[in-house]
Structure 1
Amino acid sequence: MNAAQDVKPRDPVFVSYRHSDGFEIATMLAWSLRAAGIPVWRDVDDLPPGDTDARLEQAIDEGISGAVIVVTPDVAKSRVVREVEAPRLLRLHRDYPAFALAIVNAVTLPNGHIDYAAPDRVLDLAQPELVGVNQRSADGEGLQATTRQMLWHRIAAIRREMSGPEGELRVSIQTRNTPQVYDRTDADLDVRLRPSAHEKLPSAQGLKELGKALRLLPDAVTRAGVTAVRIEGGAHLSVALAVGAGIPSTRAGRMVVVDGRGSRWQSTSEAQLFEPPRLRVLREEVSDATPRTERTEVAVYVDLQLPRSDTAFDHFIEANGGRLVAWQHLTSTSTGLLDAEDGGNLAAEAAARVRDLSMSHANALIHLIYRGPFGVAVLIGRLTNSLRFIAYEWTDSDADDGTYLGPRYEAVGMVRASTPTGALEKVILEPA
């Protein structure tokens, strides 16, 4: 780097650590950062075997926007971290104000508190330099705080070019890729989830990391000073619903979703019904049972794909019908392919019908099963303000012992927009 402008805020963050006692911490940190939209440069993901000494040089040559040094007791034994990476990262931090540096400190005092003097000591620095750098603990709370710190730095660095009447925050999301530094795009945020061991369902641990990241996303939109959000890429449909709920219409007046085929799905600002209608009720049932004292539950199946597919939803009703006070099966009034230009209206009507069914049954919990374009799923999610729903994912995988289970919908997570705990309130999906 020869000039301050060479520190590009959309470049990845380098993670420096000692393998012997820092590997697990670095792994958790990397997935936390990726879930929040920050690409990570890390040796095990981005270098072939045998290139340990060259990992920082390669990262700097390709561009990094900052670094996190994971300080553990064994760092004192690491020549690479002490003599190569830490000195170079500190020079970048001193020379370029745009370069973000954070410390995750796993060294504690006898009372359990962070030993703030440890980084300078274990890195054998001639002069104390890291005492004044923001240090966080290596537990879950500390890693989340480090993620938040790096995200706010990234947003602040790109705010000027985004803010304005037409400004938009670009968020790329993928849940099926194997994340590495070369998977990033030129978006403002590149959200990537931990790969799943399941062939159809997302990673349960990745969803938990996403849930924490979604707590930060609404404030990221506010800090960016934008009037619109653009979502790009593709994801499991349950994740698409949750991400949409994470950026409700109260935070960004306009949202555009560009899917993997380049189709643009643009939102409206509120859930509403249309004339002529975009959806029709294909099947429905209302229970005549006496209202229960506990919270009521309803189910909505929004099926927007052709040809029609009912088997998995029928299995869901057979297994859960006794707990539902009502359910509806909705489909498009169109007999052909959906028009992306009408996607916002389609999503707005779907959200309105879901809300009406819930409100007409004592603000019932909603089991929301969606089958259709990724873009519409995101747009439905952002219009679910005040609703609590369980998002589902389709699978036909056999049981672990080989037993045939057939096509079905698995509960993934509890979603609720505009809550301090984040849109993905609870992960229901069990680890594969």
Structure 2
Amino acid sequence: MTNPAGDVFISYKHSQQNLAEKLEIALRNHGIPVWRDVHDIGPDPLEQQIREDLQDSNLAGGVAIISSDVTQSPVILKTELPELHKRWRGDDEFFVVVVLAPGVDYDEAETILSKAESPYDLSHWYMESLEVEETSSSSSAIGRIINSILDKLGQNQKTSSQLPPLDAVVDAVLERRLQCIHNRLSSNSPVECSLDTYVKPSHDIQLAVSIDWSPHFDDGIPDGSLWNEQLLPALRTTTDYLQQETPGRELRFRGRANLPAVFSLGYCLPETRGISTAWMQPDQDGNFSSWRLDLNLGESNLQSDLEEIDRTASDLAVLVNITDDVKPEVGKTKSKLPDFNGILEFGFEEASKDRLTAPEAAHAAKVFQQDLRDAMNRLPGTSTIHLFMATPAGLAFLFGQMTNTSPTIQTYILDTESGSRTYETAAQLS
């Protein structure tokens, strides 16, 4: 029986390696784990291991990139396509998406598929063409990002207007995956998900969605364009499909992720959407508790203080001082920040609060929302909120859920690696 929460196999000719790599990045950004030969092949002979891996029940589905030179690949024609088709025919939960590389039309794809060593007609698979009109991919965030990477590598043989967007392929995989998971789960079971930016996901439970952004942080903090053109759109797409394909289920997230990422996740799952959501917050002993908004509130003693500075300015600084005081680092970053109309600080009444319970976190989120609204009423000209946080990840998630009606929010991430300990721009939410 197929595990619908398993990896997705990418079949491709190595002439399409750049396309396969970018597809893998796009899938992982959306929470879909990937099997690809460059990092999943062991010491066994190539064809033998691929055959065994394709028969593994922990493989959830496959994406087959069909290019003209697939006809020159015995491994694809004799092993990959026949085994994918065999799994697809024998198990309703195993899905295959056939991707037509640029320049390959449906007629040619059927001819190529007919050469696979299978007694069955493989042309009945769902096919997604990457041949696009010139005007469409120029506005594709993924297309622009891929082109930029290929330009740097000196491997871009197409203009930016010719590079195909991968959105439709990702949508097809995400939709089918979540449908299968939803149908497999018992009626009251939650959908388990993760978001990781510090390390690759390594959770000890089965995850429907495992968003892996860690490669983007291997070489330091990514710039704002990657946040806003690649990561945020992926987050919005994934949360939309979770709501659409797993209706009525609780969504549980966990992971080791930086605060702007977790806040953005909460922002994409606002309280107003009516979806039951939680962040599984670990304590000092490694035990998890469900931090969510629909708990009976406990008194958090979270307080705020607004200092009005310049009413002619349109930017408001919001400082959240819970696990640490962010003011020194904000001060070091001052030269890169706009003039503020005010500074709104949040902190606990007590000098320190080592442990925050789930009911207290829910209360703190309500206080954050109300005090932010009060600040907006006192400074009605505010168009952008600049958010600096030192807080548990679960609280950042809840704060994000409570700010969907706010003006544009510019989040920041603390640079702890360069030695400067200054803030860099991260996701911008609007």
2:19 is aligned with 1:25: yes
**Structure 1: which amino acid aligns with 2:318?**
V
Partner of residue 326, structure 1: 342
- Are 2:355 and 1:338 aligned? yes
Equivalence map 1:337-356=2 (5 Å):
337-341=354-358, 342-356=360-374
Larger mean CA deviation between 252-261 and 227-236 belongs to 252-261
Conserved 8 A contact 2:12-2:20: yes
CA distance in structure 2 between the aligned counterparts of 1:252 and 1:338, rounded to whole angstroms: 28
Work out the CA distance in 1 between the residues paired with 2:256 and 2:302: 24
Distance 1:196 1:49, change over 3 A: farther
Deviation at 1:253, TM superposition (A): 4.4
Asked if 1 retains the 8 angstrom alpha-carbon contact of 2:279 and 2:397, the reply is yes
Q: CA deviation at 1:242?
A: 0.7
SS in 2 for 1:134: strand
- Which of 304, 325, 330 is matched with 1:281 structurally? 304
Q: Assess, with a 3 A threshold, how the Cα gap between structure 1 residues 183 and 134 changes in structure 2: closer, same or farther.
A: farther
Q: Distance in 1 between matches of 2:176 and 2:386?
A: 38
CA distance in 2, matches of 1:51, 1:248: 49
Larger relative helix fraction: 2
1:47 to 1:133, Cα distance in 2 relative to 1, 3 A: same
CA contact (8 A) 1:14 1:67 kept: yes
Q: 1:404-423, aligned counterparts within 5 Å?
A: 406-416=420-430
Q: Distance in 1 between matches of 2:388 and 2:53?
A: 45
Indicate conservation of the 8 Å contact 1:31/1:209, yes or no. no
Give the alignment partner of residue 389 of structure 2, picking from 355, 366, 370: 370
**What is the SS of the residue equivalent to 2:216?**
coil
Q: What's the counterpart of residue 233 of structure 2?
A: 212
**Cα pair distance change 1:343/1:202, threshold 3 Å:** farther
Q: How many residues align?
A: 386
Return closer, same or farther for 1:356/1:47 CA change in 2, 3 Å cut-off. Answer: farther
Question: What corresponds to 2:89 in structure 1?
Answer: 94
TM-score normalized by the length of structure 1: 0.80
Cα separation, partners in 2 of 1:162 and 1:98, compared to 1, 3 Å: closer
CA distance in 1, matches of 2:233, 2:124: 28
Question: Per the alignment, in what secondary structure is the counterpart of residue 56 of structure 2?
Answer: helix
Instruction: State how far apart, in whole Å, the 1-side matches of 2:227 and 2:24 are.
Output: 11
Among 218, 223, 245, the alignment partner of 1:223 is 245
Other-structure match for 1:357: 375
Name the CA shift for 1:227/1:131 in 2 (closer, same or farther; >3 Å): closer
Shift of 1:376: 0.7
- In the TM superposition, 1:47-58 aligns within 5 A as 47-48=41-42, 51-53=45-47, 54-58=49-53
Q: Equivalents in 1 of 2:44, 2:226: separation in Å?
A: 30
Q: 8 Å contact 2:300–2:363 — kept in the other structure?
A: no
Q: CA deviation at 1:381?
A: 0.7
- Mapped to 1, the partners of 2:235 and 2:242 lie a distance apart of 10
1:381 to 394, 400, 404: 400
Map residues 66-85 of structure 1 onto 2, 5 A cutoff: 66-85=61-80
Gaps of 5+ in 1: 1-5, 109-113, 399-403, 417-432
Native 8 Å contact 1:298 1:357 kept in 2: no
SS at match of 1:7: coil
Rounded to whole Å, the distance in 2 between the matches of 1:118 and 1:183 is 42
Secondary structure class of the residue paired with 2:333 = helix
Aligned mates of 2:121, 2:275 — CA distance in 1: 48
The residue type equivalent to 2:414 in the other structure is W
Aligned mates of 2:120, 2:198 — CA distance in 1: 45
Please give the root-mean-square deviation of Cα atoms over the aligned residues, in Å. 2.9
Supply the distance in 1 between the matched residues of 2:55 and 2:377 (Cα, whole angstroms).
Answer: 55
Residue-by-residue CA offset, 1:201-233 (whole Å, 9 max, x unaligned): 358647744323223213422331125321112
1:393 paired residue number: 413
